[in-house]
Amino acid sequence: MEDNKLTTVRSVNRALSILKCFLAPPHEFGITEISNCLQLSKGTIHLLAKSLQEEGFLEQVDRTRKYRLGLVVHDLSLATNVAGSDLRSIAHEFLKQLCYTVSLPCYLAVELGEQVIVIDKVEPALPFMVIIQVGTALPYYSTAPGKLLLAYAPVERQNAILRSLKLSALTPNGITSKVLLREELKRIVRNGYALDQEETLVGLFCIGVPVRNSKGQVVACLTVSAISSSLSESNYTKFLPHLQDYAERISQKLRFPL
């Protein structure tokens, strides 16, 4: 019986060690690479990886057949961050006030792992508004929160994400060139805000501004999003000052929580 317990514990430890491998870039690894990293046989790695895949902790990339972290890991990360996040609890009341002020859907998005995730929302009771659910993963290259958080990311992280991105236009307005995307990121830092000009979904326009922590680091994106008849290139500057005001209020609260 004791031997069985030790075997089980060893298997759990090895499975956790496999998951930790994916913390390092490029965050996708094959059986041989994991085997070399952990100094374990390919057979052992293969069995454990398949078990982790079946439980949703790993997924296999169709093109390369390598593994990457699965949705369960992202769900756990989201649950941890949302449940215990001071950011979300601090920001929620400001989201409600901003929504009341602009009468548009308001969202808060952050980076979790290798994704941009919506962690909170407040929406007016208008049935024609586009609804984005909490937990939605947003593309880095087409959405206002994705582009803004990428623009303010540390250089090494930004470069790593850009290398891994596969640009595929979701609408006719989408960016498909990494050169143009880099120019867009520089423009976002200069302007202090990001736009999604119907780049993710035809008819949907979005503005995003940075929320900063006590160290001045951008930790979230406060954003408003609506159909283009309500929010567009011609009128977004009317809403931008309100968005910036409430982002600064959240940032101030993060700097001085009491």
The confidence band for 131, taking pLDDT boundaries of 50, 70 and 90, is low
Lowest-confidence segment of 47-51, 185-189, 245-249 by average pLDDT: 47-51
> Which of 61 and 210 is assigned the larger pLDDT?
210
The pLDDT tens digits for 38-64 are: 998 999 999 998 998 888 888 888 888
Please tell me the CATH superfamily of domain 82-255, with its number: GAF domain (3.30.450.40)
* pLDDT of res. 196: 93
Give ∠ CA 141-182-209 in degrees, rounded to 5. 60
The three state secondary structure string of 108-170 is: EEEEECCEEEEEEEECCCCCCCCCCCCCCEECCCCCHHHHHHHHCCCHHHHHHHHHHCCCCCC
Give the residues across from 121 on adjacent strands. Answer: 107
The answer to whether the CB of 105 falls within 8 A of the CB of 65 is no
2-69 maps to which CATH number?
1.10.10.10
Q: pTM value?
A: 0.67
Q: Which residue has the higher pLDDT, 256 or 64?
A: 64
| Res 4: pLDDT | 57
Segments of the chain assigned to CATH 3.30.450.40:
82-255
Q: Residues spanned by CATH 1.10.10.10 within the chain?
A: 2-69
pLDDT of residue 3: 54
pLDDT of amino acid 82: 47
Q: Lowest-confidence range among 71-80, 101-110, 127-136?
A: 71-80
Q: How many CB atoms lie within 10 A of CB 202?
A: 11
